[in-house]
Homo-oligomer: A and B are copies of this chain.
Amino acid sequence: MKAITINSLKQANPIIDMPTPELQPGNVLIKVHATAVNHVDLAWVSGKRKPDDTILGLELAGEVVDAGDSNVKVGQRVAALVDKGGYAEFASVPADRLIPLPDDVSYAKGASIPESYLTAYQTLFLIGNLQENQTVLIHAGASGVGTAAIQLAKQIKHATVITTSSTEKTAICKANGADYAIDYKQQDFEAEVDKITNHRGVDLVLDFIGADYFNANVNSVATDGQLVLIGDLSGSIVNNVNLRYIMMKRMSITGTLLSTRSPEYKAKLTAEFVAKTKALFADQTLEPTVGAEFDLQDALSAQKYMHDQKNVGKIVLKV
């Protein structure tokens, strides 16, 4: 089958021939129609993981062609979070990771669901414990996780959603449902949040930016609020952290990563997510944001596009 590995990506023709995966017990075989690019892919390629024949790709959408020992129907259109193997023609996926795709959701949109929506769902509700009508600050609001989080917070908890993004991406945040779209290039988000919340602060912050935003995030959280760290795009090392503020606010700071969680956790998260969102994807209340599509063979260009922060929502690879 066609596939792109960490080793092959930088070749003139990155698509190489690999054996079709053998079906493990509990897995189904999927004919992949689309996958999506994640920051982890870029990290693996840039040396965070030893270059080898690992097939890239942490999420995919396609159709079930062999149900194995499961009771999934052959032909079922699905998306799934995978540990690797999305940049390929076929993938073997645990049956308990499948997200059934409604008829009107394309494979490109389907491939944009797993990482972004599961991460957003987990951080907003399971970790962040967002309650009805609370206020949430979502950084990188026009990103894949950002757009998913805006939609989930609005549609499931009727939250007041404040986002940050670059000037040109504020419209995307608004289109996805943000009540306030702060332009971080022109505005100081801490001052804006203080104004919007009438000095109260927000109940929850979802942050991908890390070091540069950390202290302003702490200052932006309300009493008994929470900061969830999902990324550190600006760096990891923070100075002048004030523990007194953290105590006075009785706030929590929680770091999380989805990819390193156990298979059991991912299965449980997927089941809860499907139960809560299936109808909302079917009637397009939730709609993945596909910002760009590339052919699989142009995966390196797609990764460069993400590296250069050109993307809005997800970057999809058509397989």
Contact = CB atoms under 8 A, between A and B. Distances in A.
A74 interface: no
Contacts of A261: 250
Interface in A229-267: 229-232, 236-257, 260-261
Among A229, A236, A241, A257, max chain B CB count under 10 A is at: A241
A42 interface: no
Contacts of A102: none
Contact of A246 (B243, B247, B253): B253
Interface in A167-193: none
B239 A214 contact: no
Contacts of A100: none
Given A229-B243, A238-B243, A252-B253, 14 more contacts: A210-B243, A214-B241, A229-B246, A232-B247, A236-B243, A237-B240, A238-B240, A238-B241, A247-B255, A247-B256, A250-B255, A250-B260, A252-B255, A253-B253
A256 B260 contact: no
A258 to B, nearest CB: 10
A232 to B, nearest CB: 5
Contacts of A237: 240-243
A211 interface: yes
A255 B246 contact: yes
A232 B243 contact: yes
B254 A252 contact: yes
28 contacts: A210-B243, A229-B246, A230-B247, A231-B247, A232-B243, A236-B243, A236-B244, A236-B245, A237-B240, A237-B241, A237-B242, A237-B243, A238-B240, A239-B240, A239-B241, A241-B241, A243-B255, A245-B255, A246-B255, A247-B257, A248-B255, A248-B257, A250-B257, A250-B260, A251-B254, A251-B255, A252-B255, A253-B253
A230 B246 CA distance: 10
Interface of A: 210-211, 214, 229-232, 236-257, 260-261
A245 to B, nearest CB: 8
Contacts of A230: 247
B257 A244 contact: no
Contact of A239 (B236, B239, B244, B254): B239
A242 B248 contact: no
B249 A255 contact: yes
B236 A242 contact: yes
A232 B247 CA distance: 9
Nearest to A227: B253
Nearest to A257: B247
Contacts of A240: 237-239
Contact of A250 (B249, B251, B256): B256
